[in-house]
Amino acid sequence: MNHKRLIIPILLITVVLILASCGTKELEDPLNWKVGSIKATTQDKEDFSIEEMKGKVWLADFIFTSCTTVCPPMTRNMAKIQDMLKDEGVEAEIVSFSVDPKVDTPEKLKKFASAQGADFSNWTFVTGYNQDKIETFAKESFHTIADKPEGADQVAHGSQFFLVNQEGKVVKYYRGSSEVPYEQIVEDVKIAAE
């Protein structure tokens, strides 16, 4: 008889605890990489600075317009994520950094981005810094490579997508060129944006 009386309060407490834990989702094992400063020019020839991103959740990647391998599929994959976020009503920005700034003029970036289905309403493509600056920025802020050997026309660079929180810290990164975890990225952006 006493056992039955105990079961109901225990069940109620368990249900309350489960429901309480559902309301506060957090990113699993977040990174804490501080994004440094960089000034750039957008695909529309406007000034851009990382300071503009403060207080916003954003995705970042590194691409270049004459890339013969991963950049076109990466950009199409990011366009799919952009559509998914829009469908879910999630507000987030996207920034694609050119790793070949000498070649990638704003016009070339705009043409490349349009061809891959980018929507410029919340997606900015940037260039206008020197090669050393973007290589250092990629390494120090995103822990990824961006390296254009002397005389080469291709740039070695990481193909990840990075999630940056409102505090300007990289909290997650994902595969960007193939086997992209679309649903996970959208879910993580939602959590970061709460």
- pLDDT tens digits for 167-179? 999 999 999 999 9
Q: Which is it for strands 146-147 and 33-34: parallel, antiparallel or unpaired?
A: unpaired
With respect to residue 16, please indicate whether it lies within any of the assigned structural domains: no
Residue 140 covered by a domain:
yes
Task: Please tell me the predicted confidence (pLDDT) of residue 40.
Answer: 98
Report DSSP letters for 39-89, one per residue.
Answer: EEEETTS-EEEGGGGTT--EEEEEE-TT-SSSHHHHHHHHHHHHHHHHHHT
Task: Provide the domain limits for residue 86.
Answer: 27-193
Q: Is residue 17 part of a domain?
A: no
- 95: domain CATH number is 3.40.30.10
Distance CA 34, CA 142 (A): 8
pLDDT at residue 6, as a whole number: 59
Report the chain (194 residues): mean pLDDT per 10 consecutive residues.
57 50 73 96 98 97 96 98 97 97 98 98 98 97 95 94 97 97 98 94
pLDDT of residue 140: 98
Q: pLDDT tens for residues 15-25?
A: 444 444 444 57
Structural domain contains residue 55: yes
Domain count, the chain: 1
pLDDT at res. 22:
47
At residue 19, the pLDDT reads 46
